[in-house]
Structure 1
């Protein structure tokens, strides 16, 4: 049994990186002495209920007063992360190994890093920031963090992200897909499901939530009778307010906002189709949950989400017009629907939490063995 510190600045943010961190703690706490290195003390009971993990009783090491204040929000998030990274470095000698569940991290002897996306400037990433001072800020952040690329093994969330990271850093990470609860409860038979769509994710410009409304609206104008359920917390922007106002005006749209886990699963289990609109999704937890719930999801032809639908061209689109065309072809053919349902990858073996536990334990064992030689 090794003493392991797992770093994440804030596990209560509610995203995919937080899901990975909580499941990582769950996977390792039964075989190692695990401590969470973070900025503020989390409510593990609430988190376990949401992610269906078992992390209650996990030791927590706070990273200090400055780091805790920075966790409340800071526009220069790379500098914030660099300050956290520096705090982790100072504590690394207290552990047999440090795991970062939040992107690149360098500590003496090397950390095992789960990189969800390139944190620092990466010209080959489609999400590369175009800010004037981005390069300067990266240089400063790397210096504060003491970043040394290649110091410690790297994991990531999709083959697509692995190719981005390899292009950026010359390092090919191993892919360990995030944990997705597969088949939590029996979904309705296909013929009994609502003839409509569910879109899941923050209501925000980068999620392109309004595009989901546009697509379903145009499909209905062509003679289809389809509903759209929007699930997700508005980000507080004018864009989010505009989406909510549009939803109120359209009788085929139901805006749910943020919902409980049970309510989310209930909707995924009772509606036929999923509609995802974010480009360059690093992985796509929502899409994987749609597949696990027996839905047919349609996704942009970019990012890790393409892997989730088995690279099926009938389910991927590059433009709103193409989305409408491929969706209409599917929804008007029961034979095509049945064929696609059979062709989608098995979610339990590919994305299930048991699979994640096995893979993470194996990766950590291999890494610890190399450290003790």
Structure 2
């Protein structure tokens, strides 16, 4: 029942240290659902920046899909933060509806904070009189404007007049009332994402920033040059991530081993992948479901190539991780992957192109491959290293927090 679903359930995952100032601005990082993946990693790095500024943020969400203790176990770091669940018992509802419900709740919850860091990817219907820093992975408004309900599957369509088709039509009407607010600040995860928001709003404030999601290169670096001509892929299992298409590609490449690593977020899709492997007797495909971090790193260090199959990926954190680990990335020629992999010969238009690309790369001298990897790693270090992210977010947050503290001291 909705009336009993919406309550606050706070989980203090780690206590604040004594060094955290009691009069620091109250900050919440807001995301409708928190699951393991790239967005969680961005949130955790935001937490580290705030901790360095003496702030223990709340992570405000509708409900958690895992036990908070798993974070430290998976990433091997301790974070000063608290989880605040607004609807821990809420039934699963469509993403677009849950975002609108969550953002609506922030009108009430937002009063408890000086600054909201919004990671819902939507400006609707957030409070206009609240200081909000948006970290946008890809704007929901742009997804709803696309002919396909899934920008990662451009040919996909809902059946006309089906419940999903009608729901999307209704949500599109709600977003006709979208608008920008002067107290909102914008950070984008790529130039591709920034262009998508400008397409929807046109007059985006001038003080916007592109801050790429961070990677701790020390976690991934390896001197291993004696790698198997194998392919590793890392992504949460789901249709938009394209694992089934990778498996079908593997069926045409029986001499190449494919290691598919990812969270089993969609059990039905995982079963579909497993059924295809079994029915076709594929011995060269290995699923590493919910693999620990160390296992993922080991597979990256063993494999020569990394394959990413999502179309219109707004950024693509795993491709950066693979580059840091010394893999040669093969990515679709779209979205933010053009920024991550600036070498056009490593981007493909169709998965059908991949076997030919692999054949070309395998014919190159090892010195040419090493030079290619070094060039990609230098580019990645300059743009995606966690130290770069921390400094950029620090420089964006500091004037906002200083202004908020000034207002607090003057009683404004």
Q: TM-score of the superposition, structure 2-length normalised?
A: 0.78
Instruction: Give the Cα–Cα distance (whole angstroms) in 1 for the partners of residues 213 and 116 of structure 2.
Output: 19
Cα 1:238–1:99 shift into 2, 3 Å: closer
Match of 2:25 in 1: 2
Do structure 1's residue 30 and structure 2's residue 52 form an aligned pair?
yes
Secondary structure of 2:283's match? Answer: coil
Do structure 1's residue 199 and structure 2's residue 215 form an aligned pair?
no
**Cα pair 1:230 1:253 within 8 Å, conserved:** yes
Secondary structure of 1:283's match? Answer: coil
Show structure 2 runs of 5+ residues with no match.
1-23, 152-156, 159-164, 408-412
Instruction: Give the Cα–Cα distance (whole angstroms) in 1 for the partners of residues 185 and 147 of structure 2.
Output: 20
Runs of 4+ in 1 over 6 A off after TM superposition: none
Secondary structure of 2:370's match? Answer: helix
Match of 1:352 in 2: 385
Instruction: Give the Cα–Cα distance (whole angstroms) in 2 for the partners of residues 359 and 17 of structure 1.
Output: 17
Which of residues 142, 150, 166 is equivalent to 2:198? 166
Secondary structure of 2:145's match? Answer: coil
Cα 1:339–1:38 shift into 2, 3 Å: same
Secondary structure of 2:387's match? Answer: helix
**Cα pair 1:2 1:96 within 8 Å, conserved:** yes
Instruction: Give the Cα–Cα distance (whole angstroms) in 1 for the partners of residues 272 and 67 of structure 2.
Output: 33
Q: How many residues align?
A: 357
Q: TM-score of the superposition, structure 1-length normalised?
A: 0.85
Match of 2:88 in 1: 68
Instruction: Give the Cα–Cα distance (whole angstroms) in 2 for the partners of residues 168 and 69 of structure 1.
Output: 34
Instruction: Give the Cα–Cα distance (whole angstroms) in 2 for the partners of residues 288 and 193 of structure 1.
Output: 18
Moved more, 297-306 or 97-106: 97-106
Match of 2:121 in 1: 103
Moved more, 299-308 or 197-206: 197-206
Secondary structure of 1:341's match? Answer: helix
CA-to-aligned-CA distance 1:346-373 (integer Å, 9 cap, x gap) = 3344212222221111111233456658
Do structure 1's residue 94 and structure 2's residue 112 form an aligned pair?
yes
Do structure 1's residue 361 and structure 2's residue 394 form an aligned pair?
yes
Match of 1:119 in 2: 140
**Cα pair 2:179 2:201 within 8 Å, conserved:** no
Match of 2:357 in 1: 326
Question: How far apart are 1:320 and its partner, in Å?
Answer: 2.4
**Cα pair 1:103 1:114 within 8 Å, conserved:** yes
> 1:1-373 alignment to 2 at 5 Å?
1-11=24-34, 13-33=35-55, 34-40=57-63, 43-56=67-80, 58-63=81-86, 67-70=87-90, 72-75=91-94, 77-105=95-123, 106-107=126-127, 108-120=129-141, 122-123=144-145, 127=150, 131-140=165-174, 148-151=179-182, 152-170=184-202, 171=204, 173-184=208-219, 186-190=221-225, 192-220=226-254, 225-236=255-266, 239-248=269-278, 249-309=281-341, 311-334=342-365, 335-346=367-378, 347-369=380-402
Cα 1:79–1:141 shift into 2, 3 Å: farther
Instruction: Give the Cα–Cα distance (whole angstroms) in 1 for the partners of residues 336 and 139 of structure 2.
Output: 14
Instruction: Give the Cα–Cα distance (whole angstroms) in 2 for the partners of residues 332 and 142 of structure 1.
Output: 53
